[in-house]
Structure 1
Amino acid sequence: IIDIEHNGPTKILEYDNPECLILRGKEKFEPNWQCIILQSEINAGKELRYCTFTPQREDRIIAWSDGITQSGLGSKEYPLGWELKRAQDFALLVVKNEHKVSARKLSTKLVNMAYVNDNYHPKDDISAATVYFREPRKLLITTGPPFDKENDAKLVNEFKNFKGKKVICGATTGDIISRELNVEIEDSFEFTDPDLPPISHMKGADLVTEGILTLGKATEILSKHTENSTL
């Protein structure tokens, strides 16, 4: 059980599962774990572990089933299975090589590696889940001029104060923002796609493009996107 408060401590409780891995940046992090030895007749002697810690930005929690840690069991390479230490080292290596790797991608890499260890014939459930404490990635697409010209300044103010990636789509919209912020648009001959007009550059914007054709192309790409494709 992983219980995450919005702006407070995170609590983890483990019972009869491989130890989860907590990363602080690119290093393993060990909170203060507490143990309870169960006394009930059915579960006598079994251990319940729990901890509480305050997560920091770029922390990760990786939980997995024993299908991960025991993958490859009985094989020539891993007669005793992949084991917890190797799974942890693999996860650490992925994060060190790709510091901003997404939670989904990291979990997928772990599952795929266990699948390979089992020679593509898993003998048990193979599951991995990752929690990634990161800065939210926000994107603002500004397109189309306001219906009333007196709202130009309001549009530009929202654009200027947005915290995240900012994209301008459309020549008219770009001209309004350029005028209100007194910043020039620099045209270029950079064709990122042969079907689209070239991109432009403007201080304060991460991308400046033509409008309707570019938005139509983006819609087409997104409509064909699947979990197995890469944007």
Structure 2
Amino acid sequence: MRNTNCVVDVDYAQFYKKKQRIGGDVFLSSRDPEKTRIGCTLSDGLGSGIKANVLANITANMAQKLSFSPLQVIKSSEIIMDTLPVCKERKISYATFSIVQMQLDSTEEIKTRIIEYDNPNSFLFDGNTPVDFKPQKIALKRKRGGKSELVRYNELVLRDGHRLVLMTDGVTQSGIGTKAYPLGWREKPLREFIRESIAKNSQISSKELAKLIIMRARANDGGEPGDDITCAVITVRKPRDLVLASGPPFHKEHDKNLVDQVMQFTGKKIVSGGTTAQIFSRELNKRIFVDLKNRDREVPPCSRIEGIDLVTEGMLTLNRAAIELENRNPVENITSSSVRSFVELILQSDRILFLVGTKINEAHQDPNIPVEIGIRRSTIHRIRQILETTYMKETEVRYL
């Protein structure tokens, strides 16, 4: 894993407009193969439902591809605006966008460019202190004629403790027409809500902060959003590390080496697999306590070993976790408590080290075990791929 002083935690939360089964807001984030650049796009399609979703998806996907091209972000914005149709009646573009491009050349400073078109202003915080920044307003002329469109452009340097908050107008217009917020959730009270949320929990993740903001926005609307509500948060912070040990080493004499690597690791620790747990119990001279309170028909319960953050069963848990991660199922919706704890710890971490034993477990040769269980190595590979591409985590694997 790379020796970096800071990592970028990117996540979002979203509610659909009441009575809608699909949202018109789209948030996408990705990283280049060299892991030197991150691109994020938040787009709000005009209206709601399927049509808005298609327009926002086109905009966001186009912006993401252009973010990793040699083109400057302003030129990319021109291309997007020339591509998007314009509403004949309202004379406005069929989708808004906020594009964030981050350069990860330095281990401590992240050069960031932001360009926003018709979305609410983004907020920047240093810790829980709001940071004012004045965007440069640039007029972009459509090639097909029509009025010039104003975009807001900023160049920033993000450091440890900085948070950038993006949102659609479903947040800022929440509560509009009510006694508390006759003109919507305006900038001053919204900024103060974010400041208080960070002050209460300085370690709050991007996902948790985004969720707090949209939950409050939905409450402003009386629990029935009048528009799609989406908030994305980009946090720069110290990396959180995790080690996951799964499977016994090929040679039994390497058992102690496996345990030593895990116990000397600075960060969270997961042991996955019954045989692996027995190795740790033996080498550490610690008892294994099985949690019988939380039972699941499909996945065995967690266990506890002193000094280990989480002990789970092996292949069933790993395969189920891979499915939940692949589907981006919210942690709170995962029914199995052991899988939920596993996924939660993984997603709270930025850099994950997998220590994978290569000894064949005879139990997995049983023909009665479903074929999809596969072998440990392929399952770990699948989880790594999901974590790196979908969640932008850094991973490393070592085979023992």
Give the direction of change, closer, same or farther, for the CA distance of 1:29–1:154 in structure 2 (3 Å limit). same
SS at 1:130 equivalent: strand
Aligned residue among 95, 102, 109 for 2:198:
95
Contact 2:138 2:153 in 1 (8 A): no
Contact 1:144 1:172 in 2 (8 A): no
Which of the pair has more CA radius of gyration? 1
Contact 1:141 1:167 in 2 (8 A): yes
Show the 5 A alignment for 1:123-142: 123-142=226-245
Deviations 1:199-225 (A, max 9, x none): 332xxx43475x7xx447956985789
Structure 1: how far apart are the matches of 2:242 and 2:176?
A: 45
Give the direction of change, closer, same or farther, for the CA distance of 1:64–1:197 in structure 2 (3 Å limit). closer
Structure 2: how far apart are the matches of 1:102 and 1:50?
A: 26
TM-score by length of 2: 0.45
TM-score by length of 1: 0.73
2:139 corresponds to 1:35:
no
Aligned residue among 10, 14, 17 for 2:119:
17
SS at 2:219 equivalent: helix
Name the counterpart of 1:229.
333
Contact 1:167 1:207 in 2 (8 A): yes
Q: Which amino acid aligns with 1:164?
A: G
**Bigger CA drift: 63-72 or 110-119?**
110-119
SS at 1:2 equivalent: strand
SS at 1:110 equivalent: helix
Q: Which amino acid aligns with 1:72?
A: G
Deviations 1:125-177 (A, max 9, x none): 3221111223443322324432313434653454355442124452223434x
Structure 2: how far apart are the matches of 1:49 and 1:192?
A: 54
Name the counterpart of 1:65.
168
SS at 2:202 equivalent: coil
Gaps of 5+ in 2: 1-98, 296-300, 335-339, 341-400
Divergent runs of 4+, >6 A: 195-198
Give the direction of change, closer, same or farther, for the CA distance of 1:112–1:143 in structure 2 (3 Å limit). closer
CA shift, 1:83, in A, is: 0.9
Contact 2:259 2:280 in 1 (8 A): no
Structure 1: how far apart are the matches of 2:140 and 2:243?
A: 56
Q: Which amino acid aligns with 1:28?
A: P
Give the direction of change, closer, same or farther, for the CA distance of 1:154–1:219 in structure 2 (3 Å limit). closer
Q: How many residues align?
A: 214
Q: CA RMSD in A?
A: 3.5
Contact 1:167 1:206 in 2 (8 A): yes
Contact 1:21 1:28 in 2 (8 A): yes
Show the 5 A alignment for 1:162-181: 162-168=265-271, 169-176=276-283, 178=284
Contact 1:142 1:173 in 2 (8 A): no
Name the counterpart of 2:100.
2
Structure 2: how far apart are the matches of 1:29 and 1:11?
A: 16
Structure 2: how far apart are the matches of 1:160 and 1:197?
A: 19
CA shift, 1:64, in A, is: 0.8
Structure 2: how far apart are the matches of 1:146 and 1:165?
A: 21
Give the direction of change, closer, same or farther, for the CA distance of 1:141–1:126 in structure 2 (3 Å limit). closer
Structure 2: how far apart are the matches of 1:13 and 1:220?
A: 40
Q: Which amino acid aligns with 1:11?
A: R
Give the direction of change, closer, same or farther, for the CA distance of 1:43–1:166 in structure 2 (3 Å limit). same
**Bigger CA drift: 143-152 or 221-230?**
221-230
Higher RCO (CA 8 Å, separation ≥ 6 residues): 2
**Bigger CA drift: 53-62 or 144-153?**
144-153
Name the counterpart of 2:50.
none
Contact 1:107 1:130 in 2 (8 A): yes
